[in-house]
């Protein structure tokens, strides 16, 4: 095994397990449980990376690189693995599809995930927090409508080809289906979720990662 995935339950790191399964790269999983009160990652993760966040990977056998290489941040890990796999699941050759690939790869965490996270945090604050959380929903709805329209004419986010952009988009859209209004009014997006959940590599990643609340 050359890649160690430090995997936190019910987190963005599930995408990295899926990515590795799609690429058929050898890896091992080190699992971490959230604090039952705060739901935060345990302090042990800070021994791997100073931020103490998941996902983070250790690549212990990078060709041409001595020792181990630690990579954190989901998007950075995904791009690292695309490069590690000689471009597989990377940008398609068609220019417009390549531009779409790059957009969705960064949109997942840069635009879609922040309001979902804000709503989650506010919903856990009694009374006032839940009231304020309701004001975030219209912003989320705009994002969900935008995603829905973008999937109207092709099966994947970068066109006709499944790419790492689809892997990046999985967690925020699974979270949105669970707690932020993604449902029957978004048939294109729900169809996309059903397609990714049916992929054998996705199913294998669930087996490796353990219980996952959003599948």
Give residue-wise pLDDT tens across range 163-173. 999 999 999 99
Q: How far apart are CA 165 and CA 136, in angstroms?
A: 25
Give residue-wise pLDDT tens across range 76-85. 999 999 999 9
Check: CATH 2.160.10.10 for 3-89+201-209? no
Give residue-wise pLDDT tens across range 186-214. 999 999 999 999 999 999 999 999 888 88
Q: How far apart are CA 209 and CA 186, in angstroms?
A: 28
Check: CATH 1.20.1050.10 for 95-199? yes
Let me know: does 42 contact 33? Beta carbons within 8 Å.
Answer: yes
Residue 33 has pLDDT above 80, yes or no: yes
Other beta carbons within 10 Å of 130: 13
Residue-range domain boundaries for the chain: 3-89+201-209, 95-199
**Torsion angle defined by CA atoms of residues 46, 49, 50 and 52, in that order, rounded to the nearest 10 degrees:** -50
Residue 162 has pLDDT above 70, yes or no: yes
Residue 63 has pLDDT above 60, yes or no: no
Beta strand pairing call for 3-8 and 56-59 = antiparallel
Q: What percent of the chain has pLDDT over 70?
A: 94
Q: Which uninterrupted H or E stretch holds 57?
A: strand 56-59
Same fold, 3-89+201-209 and 95-199: no
Which token pair is 171? 């967690």
């Amino acid at each position: 095994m050359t890649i160690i995935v430090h995997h936190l339950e019910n987190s963005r790191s599930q995408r990295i397990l899926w990515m590795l399964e799609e690429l058929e790269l050898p890896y091992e999983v080190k699992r971490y449980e959230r604090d039952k009160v705060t739901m935060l990652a345990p302090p042990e993760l800070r021994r791997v990376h100073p931020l103490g966040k998941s996902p983070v990977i250790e690549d212990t056998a990078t060709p041409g690189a001595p020792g181990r290489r630690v990579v954190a941040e989901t998007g950075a890990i995904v791009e690292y693995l695309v490069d590690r796999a000689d471009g597989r699941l990377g940008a398609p050759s068609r220019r417009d599809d390549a531009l779409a690939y790059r957009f969705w790869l960064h949109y997942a965490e840069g635009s879609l995930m922040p309001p979902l996270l804000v709503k989650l945090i506010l919903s856990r604050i009694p009374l006032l927090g839940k009231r304020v959380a309701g004001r975030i929903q219209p912003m989320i709805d705009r994002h969900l409508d935008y995603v829905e329209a973008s999937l109207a004419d092709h099966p994947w986010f970068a066109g006709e080809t499944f790419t790492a952009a689809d892997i990046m988009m999985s967690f925020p859209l699974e979270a949105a289906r669970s707690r932020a209004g993604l449902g029957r009014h978004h048939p294109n997006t729900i169809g996309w979720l059903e397609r990714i959940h049916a992929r054998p590599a996705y199913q294998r990643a669930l087996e490796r990662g353990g219980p996952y609340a959003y599948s």
